[in-house]
Structure 1
Amino acid sequence: MQKRSLLVWLAAAPLAACGFRLRGAPDFSFRSLYVQAQPGSAIARELRRTLQGSGGNLTLLTEPAQLPQAEAVLDILSEQQERVVVGLNASGQVRELQLRLRLRFSLRNQQGVELIAPTDLLQQRDVSYNESVALSKEGEEALLFRNMQTDLVQQLMRRLAAVK
């Protein structure tokens, strides 16, 4: 019995000492943020939802009239979804696609000083394609675009938290 508990302790000790901890709520250097984006922007909508649910020290301002009160303004300059053919079969039909989601953003303070210069974030996924199951592939593409969108929002959150 003592050997077993010693082995368990020896296996658990390196894991406890590695410094692993769960990622907590992000700590932003600004207390209020206004997200400026095109109407209907899916990334802006998910970002707002993520910021509101983050439980940190940040107040998200949502009304355009509140813009002058924001300590920081996140400008979502563009977001693009792309489908690029990367492979054809012997008969010239599409065999493989690359899905890309590109986001361009910048962050500035109340005085207009850029905290983050215009920056591009890119997510891409490769997906096989078969015309005989086009409907299911369309659903798979939509799911992949949603996953890429979530990944971009998480990257953006980390960038915002890194601003000092």
Structure 2
Amino acid sequence: MNAIQSMIDALRDFRQREGEYILGSVRENEAAVIDMNAEEQLFEKGENRLGVSIADYRPYSPVTIEEKRMRGQPYNRVTLRDTGDFESSFYIRYLGDSFEITASDGKTDDLVRKYGKEIFGLNRDNLDELIRTYMLPFLREKLIETINDRK
């Protein structure tokens, strides 16, 4: 087999497994993906995956603002963090060729009803970071492995 045909075959093999590799990069970096959603978006920015302020759906009541202030917690944005139980229950569910971020805390259904299912998932900036920082290097490594396996 000549070198060009070998390269074509390697690329074909890679393309056939591309979805598997993408999900593999997410599995390998689950903690970072969850942190992007729970910490960076929800807590630090108070935003959902659409980049919309969670307070736009339902802002904190004056009572909640006062409670947050007294506990030294942020009250200028809806963070969905009180005790930390909700965000510590975040996990990634794999659905064949895709994935979703969700939570197992008892408040999950109530929070989704109150603020929308968009509280789960990555906004455009974090999705770009996931691709650039985690997926592309992982895919590059898998492509090199595939090519080397064909030699």
Give the TM-score normalised by the residue count of structure 1.
0.28
Give the TM-score normalised by the residue count of structure 2.
0.30
Q: Rg larger in 1 or in 2? A: 1
By relative contact order (CA 8 Å, sep 6+), the higher-ranking structure is: 2
Larger fraction in strand: 1
